[in-house]
Amino acid sequence: MTFPLNLLSLCGAVALLLWGSHMVQTGIQRAFGPRLGAFLASALHGRLQAFLAGVGVTALLQSSTATGLMATGFAAAGMVDLVPALAVMLGANVGTTLVAQFLTFNVTAFAPTFILLGVILFRRDSGAARDVGRAFIGLGLMFLALSQLLDLMMVYEDTPSLRMLLGAIATEPLVDVLVAAGLTWAAHSSVAVVLFVMSLAARGAVPPDAAFALVLGANIGAAINPVLEGPAGDDPVAKRLPLGNLITRVAGAAVALAFLAPIGRFMVTAFPDNGRAVVNFHTLFNLVVAAAFFPILPYYASLLKRLLPRREDPADPANPIYLDAAARETPIIALGGAGREALRLVDLVQETIGATRLAVEKGDRRAAVEARRRDDLIDRLAGAIKGYLVSLDPEALSAADQRRMGEIATFVSEIEQAGDALSRGFLAALAKQLKDAIGLDPADRDEVLRMIDRLDGNLRTAGSLFMTEDPRVAHLLADEKIAFRDAESQAALAHLNAIGSGSAALARASAFRLELMRDLKQINGHIVAASAYPLLERTGELLPSRHLARKR
């Protein structure tokens, strides 16, 4: 019974180490995640800056996988170029080794202090304090788990069955690499696996060369998760960064495995403590890989782009036309292209409004469902425009450029939200009510169609105002909110009268009309906020609640 109990204790210690690492990662992400993401995005404009950012963010998150997923998202959205994104991953690989280095020092005595401080913070009401407390508790648990692992290795040191199993594995370095890669992929933590290998090596359970091979496998396993868990979709562009990172680690591991014997002799001679030799090998491996690939990142990125070309569909209206990557160096040209692309976004929403009008006029639920499917096109084009704006170097923008970029971002966001409200609000309600056989009488249908036409005209006006910036047009567009507010009020009054009549059918029909009018009012509000309000605010003609009356 001794061996099964000890094995259970070993598994429990490993699980505690993994859970502690998970608590640290989630605590830091919840407390500082948005700021870390913004910091990482802002740093992705130069190789060295991106490399250092990758080191720092990973050291805080204690997970190169988390950093890799963030960088992969930025690169897939076109917010950053592939070269600095690859530099971030090289930095992330080095950053995760710093975590392992820190945890190898004699920090067990501080475990109760970290847990106590974490519990105190966790019991506070503040969300940020609770998240930081969660991270401190996780650190304390990791310290305790590491100490327990080292103690358990003393128990297993003379266990014949374990020594036989580890001895069989140790004779095949390639098997060591595959086993460690699988464990790291399953555990989502190269730090935990490296620390476990360090514990085995420190107690002599595995020879140094086998431990080094296991570390190589842990590095490969850590690069597998971003490949499998990166952005969804079949566009090869989304796979460039995670696959590029995996290839660098596999290439580095292959070279290290070929020269494992001389590398092992050097490490053992330089670091007589086998546990310390394992962790230092982990750090040196990633430093050497970073040094080897850093100078050739532009050529490596070009190779990845050729191997994984962007999948283009010329007929897809969501594909940007005017977002020229080369124009990023000339802000005035880049902003002009983004502005033209924003008008294409208006065209997509107008087409959706046209399809919506047809669905209302014909009372066709299928037409309403088909119109809703255009929402994905709107979201994709809006995302491409916003990603392009974020990629512009803020230091190259003048004050006027900064203002225009803000106006474009506001316009795109509001038009996108108008499209979302049309699809997920108006069209969703229309499809549901038509499915339930609740329609509009001819008078109500004509009123809804009239407001849809008015909405379409307001969208055209918003697009024109976005380009001309004429305050007179801004006032006319802002005044349109009154018409939609009145239409909603009339629909609400009609609904109350229908309820008072006692007719359930009239009440359902009037509720349907009221829901549609409220959705149209919301859509129109986004259209007004897209171009009229920013201009009126800049000219000092907008109060916190409404725009100022024009002087006659």
CATH code of residue 350:
1.20.58.220
Contact assessment for residue 509 and residue 440, using Cβ atoms and an 8 Å cutoff: yes
Q: Are residues 254 and 397 in the same domain?
A: no
Q: What residues contact residue 456 under an 8 Å CB cut-off, 6+ apart?
A: 350, 353, 354, 357
Q: Are residues 352 and 282 in the same domain?
A: no
Residue-number span of the structural domain to which 421 is assigned: 325-538
Q: Are residues 422 and 489 in the same domain?
A: yes
Instruction: State the pTM of this model.
Output: 0.54
Last residue of a domain, one of 279, 307, 335: 307
Domain membership flag for residue 551: no
Q: Are residues 261 and 203 in the same domain?
A: yes
Per-residue confidence of the chain (552 residues) as pLDDT tens digits? 455 666 677 677 767 777 777 777 677 666 665 565 556 666 666 788 888 888 887 777 666 766 766 676 666 655 567 888 888 889 888 988 887 787 676 666 777 888 888 888 887 756 677 777 887 888 788 777 766 766 665 555 555 555 555 555 556 788 888 888 887 887 667 777 787 788 778 777 788 888 899 899 989 988 887 777 655 455 677 788 888 999 999 999 999 999 988 998 999 888 888 888 988 999 999 999 999 999 999 999 999 888 888 665 555 677 788 887 666 766 777 888 889 899 999 999 998 998 888 888 887 777 777 777 778 888 888 988 988 888 887 766 777 788 888 899 999 999 999 998 888 888 888 877 777 666 677 888 888 889 999 999 999 999 999 988 888 888 899 888 898 999 889 988 988 888 888 788 788 888 888 888 899 999 999 999 998 888 888 877 765 555 444 444
Q: What is the pLDDT of residue 1?
A: 43
Q: What residues contact residue 460 under an 8 Å CB cut-off, 6+ apart?
A: 346, 350
Residues 400 and 382: their CA atoms lie apart, in Å, by: 22
340 closest CA partner among 353, 326, 323: 323
Q: What is the pLDDT of residue 198?
A: 83
Residues 431 and 185: their CA atoms lie apart, in Å, by: 44
Residues 19 and 81: their CA atoms lie apart, in Å, by: 34
Longest dimension (CA), the chain: 98
Domain membership flag for residue 315: no
Domain membership flag for residue 550: no
Q: What is the pLDDT of residue 371?
A: 77
Q: Are residues 275 and 352 in the same domain?
A: no
Q: Are residues 270 and 359 in the same domain?
A: no
Q: Are residues 139 and 82 in the same domain?
A: yes
- Per DSSP, 322 falls in state S
Count of the separate structural domains present in the chain: 2
Q: Are residues 351 and 240 in the same domain?
A: no
Q: Are residues 344 and 260 in the same domain?
A: no
CA–CA distance from 2 to each of 9, 158, 160, 203 (Å)?
11, 13, 13, 19
Amino acid at site 133? G
Domain membership flag for residue 119: yes
Q: Are residues 492 and 370 in the same domain?
A: yes
Q: What is the pLDDT of residue 232?
A: 47
Q: Are residues 190 and 282 in the same domain?
A: yes
Domain membership flag for residue 548: no
Last residue of a domain, one of 247, 280, 307: 307
Q: Are residues 154 and 58 in the same domain?
A: yes
CA–CA distance from 235 to each of 240, 312, 313 (Å)?
10, 9, 11
Collapsing DSSP states into helix, strand and coil, what is residue 540?
coil
Domain membership flag for residue 233: yes
